[in-house]
Structure 1
Amino acid sequence: MKAIFNYFHPLNKLKREREKYLAEHKLPDNIKALLSAPLPDLESNVYSLDYLSVDFETSGFSPETDSLLSVGYLPIINQQLLLSKAVETFISSGEKIKAETAIINHIVPEMLEQGKHWSVVMDKFLAAAVGKVIIVHGSVIEKRFLNHYMKKRYNLPPLPLLWVDTLKLEKSLLMYKNNSETQDFRLGSIRERHNLPEYAAHGALVDSLSAGELFLALLKICFEGTDGCVKHMKFDFSRAI
């Protein structure tokens, strides 16, 4: 019975999907390295995994018509947020920044003038993600823009990556049973409920830090009093949005 459970566990299904992806597509070395990195075993401890907390800032919700403006991320190793290895990079864009998004993320045209090409920024992000579980709060934007990038740059379908969405993780808590629809699940609001500090600034780096801190807080709540096995982690296995 255990063998059957393990075979059909979504994490082992993801492993088989990666093997199929590697076999069916001619991949550049960076993507091959990303997908060849071993996924965690079901019996591994969630606290022993390496994570990468990520945030994309964009000019809108659609990668076909909107632009990726900045990418921020930092690793979480041994339950420590490695601020010394944090990265935030602006992306050069010919698109006029929308006033409504500038109010939210404080990105103005001057910040993008010295930005890098999106292929440089995204490939650097993918290199940083090798061997790590990707942490994000509300995965829609990140997955949409990453999927669009893979299609446009490499003509590849969505990557079989391992994600944890802190938004979904928060919603899974028993405290929201039967009334989750009435709650405010914005990153700042959730952090406030967990007594995490408020950050005045807003951007890819700050939000990746915010999501990373929230993830560590949720990890302790979700696995308190348990063996902390990976098989019980609520990963986000979806690729297409």
Structure 2
Amino acid sequence: MRDWPQRLQKHYRRWQWHRRGKLVSEWPAYLADRENTTRDDRLACYFGAGTLDPQTPISEVPLVALDIETTGLDPARDSIVSIGVQPFTLNRIPVAKSHYWVVSPRRALSSRSVIYHRLTHSDLVDAPRFDQIIGEVLEQLAGRLVVVHYTRIEREFLNAAARHYLKESLLFPLIDTMAIEAWQHRRLTWFQRLIGRRPVSLRLHPSRERYNLPPYQAHHALIDALATAELLQAQIARHYAPDTPVGVLWE
């Protein structure tokens, strides 16, 4: 889900400000440790694919956009209903290599969630459980740096589902296009406030509009994954050099 309340967007800006520009070096050691300690073969294969040196230029990094649609915003109560992934680089998006899964939720759908992601009870009646498709999902993520729009949804819902079904955590480095956008619009000048200018929306599709990217249908995991991939390409082209170390961007 990408239509965040204004108060949540403000909190997100404050939470992210201090993170921009920091070089993160802990992920390689963490992933190596998880490869050696996990008890699940699917997780072992994923963690065994390795990670990038934080100094690797972003232009040399294989990327994969990930989007998850859920029944709500609370990973403790709500569930994943669909997952979309789109491999890409800064120069190319091979749409034919995208993947999409519909996932059986742990709890019944609410009418409100159906309005957002447009998946009904009949769409999900024969859908596999998370633990039945997570191996396929991890195969698509392995060896690539994951890109999302709003870290807390993808990271926390995947981790909650892994803890429920696999009895282990599932964490990995991410680039967050919402965090990049929050950093670029981190404050209004006193003059902008004086003339009544309001903070920009950090939602996926308003963010895309600022880069003249085309409008897409919202709240479909595969379409939003493609939209996120295109947004990162545009953000890097406008705000960063191709040799920017990936450790500056991931979190």
Aligned positions of 1:75-94 closer than 5 A: 75-77=87-89, 79-93=91-105
CA, structure 1 residues 177+95, in 2 after alignment: closer, same or farther (shift >3 Å)?
closer
CA, structure 1 residues 61+43, in 2 after alignment: closer, same or farther (shift >3 Å)?
closer
Q: Structure 2: which amino acid aligns with 1:171?
A: A
Local SS of the residue matching 1:179: coil
Q: CA RMSD in A?
A: 2.3
Q: How far apart are 1:229 and its partner, in Å?
A: 3.2
Q: Is the 8 A contact 1:61 1:141 kept in 2?
A: yes
Q: Is the 8 A contact 1:42 1:229 kept in 2?
A: no
Q: How far apart are 1:231 and its partner, in Å?
A: 4.9
**Which residue in 2 is equivalent to 1:46?**
58
TM-score (norm. length: structure 2): 0.80
Q: How far apart are 1:46 and its partner, in Å?
A: 0.9
Q: Bigger shift: 40-49 or 204-213? A: 40-49
**Which residue in 2 is equivalent to 1:121?**
133
Is structure 2 residue 249 aligned with structure 1 residue 234?
Answer: yes
Q: Is the 8 A contact 2:85 2:222 kept in 1?
A: yes
Provide the identity percentage: 22
**Which residue in 1 is equivalent to 2:76?**
64
> In 2, distance between residues paired with 1:216 and 1:227?
11
Report how many residues are paired: 222
> Which residue of 26, 31, 43 corresponds with 1:13?
26
Q: Is the 8 A contact 1:58 1:69 kept in 2?
A: yes
> Which residue of 236, 239, 249 corresponds with 1:222?
239
> In 2, distance between residues paired with 1:109 and 1:151?
25
> In 1, distance between residues paired with 2:44 and 2:219?
34
Q: How far apart are 1:18 and its partner, in Å?
A: 2.2
Q: Structure 1: which amino acid aligns with 2:187?
A: N
Q: Is the 8 A contact 1:63 1:144 kept in 2?
A: yes
Q: Is the 8 A contact 2:55 2:247 kept in 1?
A: no
Structure showing greater relative contact order (alpha-carbon pairs closer than 8 Å, 6 or more residues apart): 2
Local SS of the residue matching 1:233: helix
Q: Is the 8 A contact 1:56 1:142 kept in 2?
A: yes
**Which residue in 1 is equivalent to 2:209?**
192
> In 2, distance between residues paired with 1:204 and 1:235?
21
CA, structure 1 residues 139+177, in 2 after alignment: closer, same or farther (shift >3 Å)?
closer
